Amino acid sequence: MTRDDDTQRHRPATRLAHAGRWPREQHGFVNPPVYHGSTVTFPDVETMLSGRQRYVYGRRGNPTAAGLESALTELEGAAGTVLVPSGLAAVSTALLSCLSAGDHLLMIDTAYHPTRHLCDTTLKRYGIETSYFDPLVGEGIAALIRPETKAVYLEAPGSLTFEMPDIPAIAAAAKARGLTLLMDNTWATPLFFRPLEHGIDLSIAAGTKYLVGHSDVMMGTVSASAAAWPALKATHGNLGLCAGPDDIYLALRGLRTMGVRLARHQESALAVAAWLADRPEVARVLHPGLAGDPGHAIWARDFAGACGLFSFVTRKAPLDAVKAMLDGLELFGLGYSWGGFESLAIVSDPRTTRSATTWTDEGHLIRLHIGLEDTDDLIADLAAGLERFSAVQ
């Protein structure tokens, strides 16, 4: 493809295969070369002073980065994309691009915990106040907007607990007041939800998860609407952020298979979730893709799919029962990340990371990432784990 092709006429699977690479400009090779470099030279003083040379210094971009930025900009339907060294750096860069001292931020109560911590410490120190809202607030968000409110931050579904906010209702109320909308879209990826089409200005992702997809690289991305892009680009430049070329190359490689991987993650996770929902050791399953989940109708209306990440709550039991279940799993690693090819589990207590809502479930919350293993093998591993859980009563 050339840079001039009308890529928006292609469907997502086609874009994943072709976006962000230009074989005719790279001696016919299918993938972009990995440019290692700080110094970029100019042919003469005239060019150096003109500002016309596309690449001028390593930190300010190179053709490897341009490939990934361009592919994500296309997938998100954005005005531009910046790359940063982690998902949390994507969160901080996006927030710093639209907030100033004296501003108030409305943050969803179910945000990724390090995002909350950033708001309650560093942003607070710079004079930005954050208050938290119930993910189910809907158009009620309007009543929480103050004169100094500048932005609303969403994450969907909720971190750990998978509540589904009504994004169009919140976006409409926030837009009516001229606020900037940010969303952490790591769970859905632009294949299952395109934030900018729903009124979001800054679409944030931990590329560490499904974009990279192989648990071997840290990466963050922010894609912006035309209105939010100039401030995002300037903030990214001022903070001196850039991602390493080898990491970008691996993210581009991950992008090519993200569609087929996500289809499998989705199918396997729904199968495991439905199986868990029927088990006597399980009080409830938290997965908006399951019919009967409180967020299912909103998910089905707004999202095109679900990934491999969901939680379940056990019936009331001592922590030793959870230890017996999780410590003995053969195929699930105990680890905080997700989005790679392998299955993972964590145990977590949502009570410690909520302030606008309360968590009253008495069982333990276990979050699973369903990887690309055979689903029957994963279910057998979990079945043995639930037997060990029951044995501890």
Interaction site with ligand PLP (CB under 6 A): 86-88, 91, 112, 155, 159, 184, 186, 206, 208-209, 218, 220
Residue of minimal Cβ distance to ligand PLP: 87
Complex with ligand PLP: residue 217 or 228, whichever CB lies closer = 217
209 is catalytic: yes
| Long-range CB pairs of 318-323, under 8 A, 24+ apart, other chains included | 318/392, 319/364, 320/392, 321/388, 321/389, 321/390, 321/392, 321/393, 322/347, 322/364, 322/366, 322/389
CB of 354 to ligand PLP, least distance (A): 16
| Of 103, 109, 166, 184, catalytic | 184
35 is catalytic: no
For 224, the enclosing helix (H) or strand (E) is: strand 220-224
246 is catalytic: no
| Of 21, 209, 315, 354, catalytic | 209
Q: Which residues contact 278 (CB under 8 A, 6 or more apart)?
A: none
| Of 52, 59, 60, 301, catalytic | 59
**Cα–Cα nearest to 205, from 269, 254, 271, 163:** 254
Complex with ligand PLP: residue 87 or 385, whichever CB lies closer = 87
| Of 15, 109, 112, 354, catalytic | 112
182, 94 in Cβ contact below 8 A? yes
112 is catalytic: yes
What sign has the CA pseudo-torsion 113, 116, 121, 122? Answer: positive
Distance, in Å, from the CA atom of 208 to the CA atom of 301, rounded to the nearest integer, reads 27
Distance, in Å, from the CA atom of 211 to the CA atom of 72, rounded to the nearest integer, reads 10
CB of 337 to ligand PLP, least distance (A): 6
Q: Any idea of the CA torsion for 77, 83, 88, 93, to the nearest 10 degrees?
A: -80
Distance, in Å, from the CA atom of 335 to the CA atom of 322, rounded to the nearest integer, reads 15
CB of 219 to ligand PLP, least distance (A): 7
CB of 145 to ligand PLP, least distance (A): 24
Instruction: Give the helix, strand, coil percentages of the chain, each rounded to 5.
Output: 40, 15, 40
Complex with ligand PLP: residue 186 or 266, whichever CB lies closer = 186
Complex with ligand PLP: residue 158 or 385, whichever CB lies closer = 158
Complex with ligand PLP: residue 32 or 87, whichever CB lies closer = 87
Complex with ligand PLP: residue 281 or 302, whichever CB lies closer = 302
CB of 78 to ligand PLP, least distance (A): 18
237, 230 in Cβ contact below 8 A? no
Distance, in Å, from the CA atom of 114 to the CA atom of 298, rounded to the nearest integer, reads 26
| DSSP assignment letter at 79 | S
CB of 360 to ligand PLP, least distance (A): 24
Catalytic residues: 59, 112, 184, 209
